[in-house]
Amino acid sequence: YIRFLKDFLESAEQNYFVGFHVHYYIFTDEPEQVPAVELGEDHHLTVIKVPSSNRWQEISLSRMRRLEELIESQLVNEADYVFSLDVDTKFYGRWGVETLGRLVGALHPWFYRSPHEQFTYERRPESQAFIPYSEGDYYFIGAVIGGLVKDVYQLAKTCREQLEIDASKSIEAVWQEESHLNKYFLYNKPSKLLSPEYLWDDKKSKPEEIKIVRFSQILKNYAEIRPNP
């Protein structure tokens, strides 16, 4: 996924909290491959080396733990807000203070029009991420998580604990940490919902109600970039 980083950072520098203090933290197993990108005034970048994995699901499952540890070790004393964003994405429009809130989630572009019975929640009662068909309001995408540092920390810590309980029972939720995120948001409502314009998908045509795509997952060949199906 390191191949996506240059476009991510360059497009962020044009659109993401321009004029504000921004610190990017890049988690990668290939720190030597991080491209040189010219950053704006008061913008900084830190690269954090993480282990490789032969399963993309393991990388996804580790998101909450890494976010929790980053907040504990650094952000608690140096940041007001934090966003966890996928790197296989690109900014196409302004992303600013309108996205800030106590706890922020983004509606999934493939499910925002669907009834909750069709959401791909974790449906096995054995999992800590279990949501029955009779419950649910929105389906949130795991590629955008944000809010006040202390509130995101509580989210990440809770989801990490629930993930560990599942792992102890040899259970992996259907969409890894995204399933646990949706369970958390079901009972801990986010204070702000971002429309799908803040996380679109380049595979999906833009409907009339989406006036601008600000941030989108880019087209890619998963068979080429992932270590396993």
Annotated binding site for UDP-N-acetyl-alpha-D-galactosamine: which residue ranges? 86-88
Tokens standing for residue 228: 């396993």
Catalytic: 58? Answer: no
Query: In whole angstroms, what is the distance from residue 7 CA to residue 47 CA?
Result: 16
Cβ neighbours of residue 67 closer than 8 Å, sequence gap 6 or more: 82, 84, 145, 152, 156
Binding residues for Mn(2+): 86, 88
Binding residues: 86-88, 108, 120, 178, 201
Q: Which residue among 68, 177, 178, 197 is the active-site one? A: 178
Cβ neighbours of residue 91 closer than 8 Å, sequence gap 6 or more: 8, 11, 12, 14, 15, 16, 214, 215
Q: Which residues are catalytic?
A: 178
